[in-house]
Amino acid sequence: MVNSINSPFRYAGGKFYARKLILAHIPQHVHYIEPFAGGASIFFAKAKVGFNHLNDIDEELMNVYFMIRDNPEGLISFLRKRSEDESRIPERLTLDTNCGDPLPAKKELHKFFKNIFEPINDLERAGRWFYLNRTSYSGIMNFQNMYWGYGDRFSMQPKNWAQNIRRTSKKLQNVILTSDDFETIIDNSPDDSLLFIDPPYYNADQDKFYNYPFTREDHLRLQGCLRRNSNRLLLFLTYDNETDIREMYSWMEEIHDREWNYCIQRTDDQKFKTDRKGERYKGKELFILNYHSDYIELNNQVQLRLLA
């Protein structure tokens, strides 16, 4: 059984560095749902349960999840160098590799996939997205803010992509994958499900990271949807540490201030033409629960040990 693994993606606003803090607040459950899956770091960090559902409105992202789950070898094949006719990748961009080797992480290839390559099927869409995600600064997939951001010392190297895809595929087996509006997912969640809800940022900067706008009206719509379902679902919500959010969710059982350390490595050589040492930052968010976390037993330590 596949237990704790890392997300296959780099994802702006992802919860990779907060996994231990989040898992410590998760109660026992048999149904698990993420309405805003993104990189799904928490799903991949925790043990699977009987019912698992990942949803995100971003159809391009979910298409990659589908391909990793259902056609991992096809995706791996796309990310390997083949003949020019088969891959439609100009030979001049990949002369330093042998046929069958992984496509190299190169600025020229990043530019090619971003601006020139036109996928003709879902597999090629997924391959293009995966390559750009793994080689873009902080995994930002918003076209206007998608820049080259790979460095061998700090990024997953292409030689490891195949292993990453295969182990992710194993964990995604029998997982429900959808691309619906969050209200549809929440309103139709089975009773007693645990929902881990990590919506887009509330502050204005969120538009820089995501391809789908999430307006103040959407944040209010989310609050209303959660409130009307709160009596039948377990809700764990992470949000910006903002006064508006505290007021919006004052009806929830618990609101915790949480901080964690994380690093950003600037590997896109836009400023210094070289890799920079990682800069340390503090993640500061709210953990908002509609249940009491003080009753969560020590069995969570089992999950936490998986991340040690």
Find the CATH number of the domain harbouring 257: 3.40.50.150
Q: Is residue 203 part of a domain?
A: yes
Q: Is the pLDDT of residue 134 over 80?
A: yes
**What is the separation of C-alpha 246 from the centre of its chain, rounded to a whole number of angstroms?**
25
98-112, 197-211, 294-308: the lowest-pLDDT one:
294-308
pLDDT of 99 reads: 58
Q: What band does 71 get if pLDDT is binned at 50, 70 and 90?
A: very high
Q: Is the pLDDT of residue 102 over 50?
A: yes
Q: Is residue 172 part of a domain?
A: yes
DSSP state of 249: T
User: How far apart are alpha carbons 129 and 64 in whole angstroms?
Assistant: 7
Are 10 and 132 contacting, i.e. CB atoms less than 8 angstroms apart?
no
Q: Do the strands 234-240 and 194-197 form a parallel or antiparallel pair, or are they unpaired?
A: parallel
Q: How many CB atoms lie within 10 A of CB 106?
A: 17
Find the DSSP H helices in 50-94. 59-70, 72-78, 84-87
Q: Is residue 185 part of a domain?
A: yes
**Most trustworthy range by pLDDT among 82-96, 232-246, 277-291:** 232-246
**Residues 147-166 pLDDT 10s:** 999 988 888 999 999 999 99
Q: What is the mean pLDDT of the chain?
A: 85
**Most trustworthy range by pLDDT among 17-21, 34-38, 212-216, 260-264:** 34-38
Number of domains in the chain: 1
- Which of 115, 13, 22 is closest to 58 using CA atoms? 13
Q: Which domain holds residue 103?
A: 16-306
- Which of 1, 12, 72, 75 is closest to 38 using CA atoms? 12
Angle at 8 (CA atoms; ends 5, 11), nearest 5 degrees? 115
User: How far apart are alpha carbons 143 and 104 in whole angstroms?
Assistant: 21
Q: Is residue 56 part of a domain?
A: yes
Q: Is the pLDDT of residue 90 over 90?
A: no
- Which of 94, 68, 96, 64 is closest to 82 using CA atoms? 94
Q: What is the mean pLDDT of residues 63-81?
A: 96
pTM of the model: 0.86
User: How far apart are alpha carbons 110 and 93 in whole angstroms?
Assistant: 10
Any bridge partners for residue 284, and if so which? Answer: 259
Q: What band does 190 get if pLDDT is binned at 50, 70 and 90?
A: very high
Structure tokens at 225: 């949807």
Q: Is the pLDDT of residue 73 over 60?
A: yes
**Residues 52-61 pLDDT 10s:** 999 999 999 9
Q: Is residue 263 part of a domain?
A: yes
Q: What is the mean pLDDT of residues 290-294?
A: 89
Are 57 and 180 contacting, i.e. CB atoms less than 8 angstroms apart?
yes
Can you say whether the dihedral through the CA atoms of 187, 32, 258, 168 is positive or negative? negative
Q: Is residue 7 part of a domain?
A: no
Exposure string for 125-151, b = 16+ CB within 10 A, e = fewer: bbbbbbbbbbbbbbbbbeeeebebbbb
* Secondary structure string (H, E, C) spanning 32-49: EEECCCCCCHHHHHCCCC
Q: What band does 96 get if pLDDT is binned at 50, 70 and 90?
A: low
DSSP 146-164: --B---TTTS--GGGHHHH
pLDDT of 213 reads: 82
User: How far apart are alpha carbons 118 and 137 in whole angstroms?
Assistant: 22
Structure tokens at 114: 């971003």
Q: Is residue 11 part of a domain?
A: no
Q: Is residue 274 part of a domain?
A: yes
Q: What band does 104 get if pLDDT is binned at 50, 70 and 90?
A: very high
